[in-house]
A and B are shown apart, each in its own frame.
Chain A
Amino acid sequence: MTLNLTVSPDFAPDRLSGWYIFNTWLARQLDTPVHLALYDDFAAQRAAIAADQVDIIYANPFDAAMLVREKGFVPLARPDGQCDEAVIAVEAASPWQCVEDLQPGIRIATTDDPHVHMMSMMMLESADLSQETVTFDACDSYVLVAKALLSGQAGAGFFLSAAFDGLSPVTRKRLRVLIRSQISVIEHVLLTGPGLGGQRQQLQSALLGMAQDTKGAGVLGSLGFDGWQPVEQEDTEFMIDLMETLAS
């Protein structure tokens, strides 16, 4: 039997080879062939999940909710110290100094990254802005969100915090952060499907021991992670409850 591994489409593009290396490591640990299936966007990945074509997933927090509550997936681990936060930024010379300065009718550059969009929309509430009073410029990547701000096509942009910090120094200098979330609960998680019951324990101990093992440490390095932390079912349930309160 071949297992299917997939990764949330919002992974950093320069980590693509890292995920292939992780896939090889995983197959060796489980002594089972593992196929890495990558999807272009969230919609395509969700279709694969719905069709039960996913066994192991490094999931976006938003999708983790659906995987746990509707599909019987179980959380195993999350990367050390990698909470997902959102940034709302403007062009450096923009007159706006805080979120409350933003006005109805503003055009906002955003991606299809669901949790970043949700956290950012939540931060607009104090400015009395909502889905109904802003317009969106849908971008395929955070680099394009930055471009939309620099070209004046959009007045504000939503970023995954880590993606904003990863923009080139030249680009970052021409942008200004209006607000950055500090939620500290929302995070990507590695989950296994209900069919993987028998190998779950084995996989979790292999993940947790990765940083101590020379080969494992190399694999972590290529993913940009320091190590994995165990995640209990209740940790993920709490994150899901919290996100449910944020969804409007």
Chain B
Amino acid sequence: MSGSAAATGEVVREQLLTYQDGSERLATISDREIPFPDGRLIVSRTDTAGVITHVNAAFVEMSGYSEAELIGQPHSILRHPDMPAAAFQDLWETIRAGNKWHGYVKNLRKDGACYWVYATVIANLRHGEVVGYTSVRRKPSRRRVEESARSYAAMGGAQAT
């Protein structure tokens, strides 16, 4: 399943991604990492089920999808197969309990490249009720990205369900 794109020397693999709702997509995944844009924040909001309701310009640029392709989609549209399921279980448990979640996340772009972020997710409270969630991602430190990559690999990525 692995091969090399001769022109760029980048390692590329074809992988069938399965989403929680049972849908599948065959993705071309490369090891190419897109650097986080300096000084910017990647922002999105979801409803209480994790369906995207708002994205900012940096989100659109980094994900490689258009705004129209993102709004209304589950947030797992960005899920990278190297991310362990346990990380997202922890995210959902934390925010459902009304707490702030922080973590290092490797995201999958539409073109198969990836980008690492340091993400914070909080619940949006309006008149005492949770109406959705906001995630704000900022530039992670290289040391923390490397640590996270190692520990996610040890957890077996998405296979460790």
Contact = CB atoms under 8 A, between A and B. Distances in A.
A124 to B, nearest CB: 9
Nearest to A129: B141
A99 B138 CA distance: 14
Q: How large is the interface on B (under 10, 10 to 19, 20 to 34, 35 or more residues)?
A: 20 to 34
B120 interface: yes
Instruction: List the 6 closest A-B pairs by CB distance, nearest first.
Output: A245-B136, A245-B120, A126-B139, A128-B141, A181-B39, A241-B134
For A125, A238, A241, the residue with the greatest tally of chain B CB atoms inside 10 Å of its CB is A241
Nearest to B139: A126
Interface in A179-219: 179-185
B118 interface: yes
A126 B136 contact: no
A232 interface: no
B143 interface: yes
Interface in A82-137: 98-100, 122-123, 125-128
Contacts of B134: 238, 241-242, 245
Interface string B49-68: 00000001000000000000
Interface of B: 36-41, 43, 45, 56, 100, 118, 120-122, 124, 126, 134-136, 138-144
21 contacts: A100-B142, A123-B139, A125-B118, A125-B138, A125-B141, A126-B36, A179-B38, A179-B39, A181-B39, A182-B37, A182-B40, A184-B56, A185-B43, A237-B126, A238-B45, A238-B134, A244-B122, A245-B120, A245-B121, A245-B122, A246-B120
A127 B36 CA distance: 13
B140 A126 contact: yes
B40 A183 contact: yes
Contacts of A182: 37, 39-40
A126 B141 contact: yes
A133 to B, nearest CB: 12
B140 A125 contact: yes
A78 B47 CA distance: 27
A183 B120 CA distance: 15
B136 A242 contact: yes
Nearest to B145: A126
A94 to B, nearest CB: 18
A127 B43 contact: no
Contacts of A100: 142
B122 A241 contact: yes
Nearest to B101: A245
Contact of B43 (A122, A123, A237, A242): A242
A237 B124 contact: yes
B136 A127 contact: no
A70 B1 CA distance: 56
Interface string A223-248: 00000000000000110011011100
A125 B39 CA distance: 11
Contacts of A237: 124, 126
